[in-house]
Structure 1
């Protein structure tokens, strides 16, 4: 079989990515061994210290309710009462890259999602991300140095640019690389078989 690469384009603070998580895990288990799955950060919202406008807060809360209703995903709405939200996901993206340097990419993605959606913590804050790194038993000094480094930020911007050059429809998206060409893969939030069948068709 020809080796192929499946890109999962996501953001750890994307609510639809959180909703898709169980189906993604199923897809990972079902993927043939000749297809490697690569997580690719898409960078939902750039760095910002500005408080999120109330209209945007209301829109995102409505989105959470929609996802919970559609997929049964859990959300802790206390987040909106006990935090001052900012439209800023790049810090969490950098945390994933910093954790990846220590072999904990997926562990950090899950930690950010659980902190944000279940524990009502704000992953836009470096203090929260450092706490997650500590919980994951990462080298905390290295993590802090990496997450604040110009090199890692440049790596993130390059990854975001690469992700946005692909045939994606927002986050999450699946893209199959075959023979140097990139193909958008059908994604169903409830059924991994939809993506799997499309991948087999693309590789046929």
Structure 2
């Protein structure tokens, strides 16, 4: 039997405004709870629609709405569709991704929980995560003050690091969100591409870990 790593690291590539990620984050949280003390989850921002400043076309709106319906059907989570009534909807996910990266710097242990809260705020409550004041209110629930958050969130360095992470994820070949990798000295091993349920995810993880490190 090959020796398993003592504390394997899962790289969870996601976006706070990705519908399938909204459905998948509870699966990742359950996996982390079941493997408590034996597994570390590191959240990476993938950038679903970063820097999208132009309003969505009608075709893009329809495609997005269909994706939401499919994710809702699979995950059985609540979705608020009022966002599609906005006449000018750009759906820029960069600010929410940058906020999550900011949390990873300030309170790394809270990153996955903050991701869950951002998902719920956007999809269930219909709040606009492209607005800084909304991000501030969500993070305040976790004891992160506005001043502390903005001291990092608005710096050139965090803008640069967010863009670098988008590029790193792209370099991994990620073309679907969510995606999970098992970190490995020779390069990340793909675990899951897209949404799946917990039993399938655990089976894939165990298969990847059975390959000698």
Paired residues for 1:87-166 under 5 Å: 87-103=91-107, 104-166=110-172
Deviation at 1:200, TM superposition (A): 1.8
Please name the residue that 2:178 is paired with.
Answer: 172
Deviation at 1:42, TM superposition (A): 0.7
Question: Which runs of no fewer than 5 residues in structure 1 stay unpaired?
Answer: none
Q: Is the 8 A contact 2:179 2:194 kept in 1?
A: no
In the alignment of these two chains, the number of paired residues is 204
Q: Is the 8 A contact 1:86 1:124 kept in 2?
A: no
Secondary structure, counterpart of 1:184 in structure 2:
strand
Q: TM-score, normalised by structure 1?
A: 0.88
Deviation at 1:82, TM superposition (A): 5.1
Q: TM-score, normalised by structure 2?
A: 0.84
RMSD: 2.2
Paired residues for 1:63-102 under 5 Å: 63-81=67-85, 84-102=88-106
Q: Is the 8 A contact 2:12 2:42 kept in 1?
A: yes
Q: Deviation string for 1:85-141 (max 9, x for gaps)?
A: 213101000111222333142343122211110111111122322232334331211
Q: Is the 8 A contact 1:167 1:175 kept in 2?
A: no
- Alpha carbons of structure 1 residues 189 and 48: separation in structure 2 relative to 1, 3 Å: closer
Paired residues for 1:189-204 under 5 Å: 189-204=195-210
Question: Which runs of no fewer than 5 residues in structure 2 stay unpaired?
Answer: none
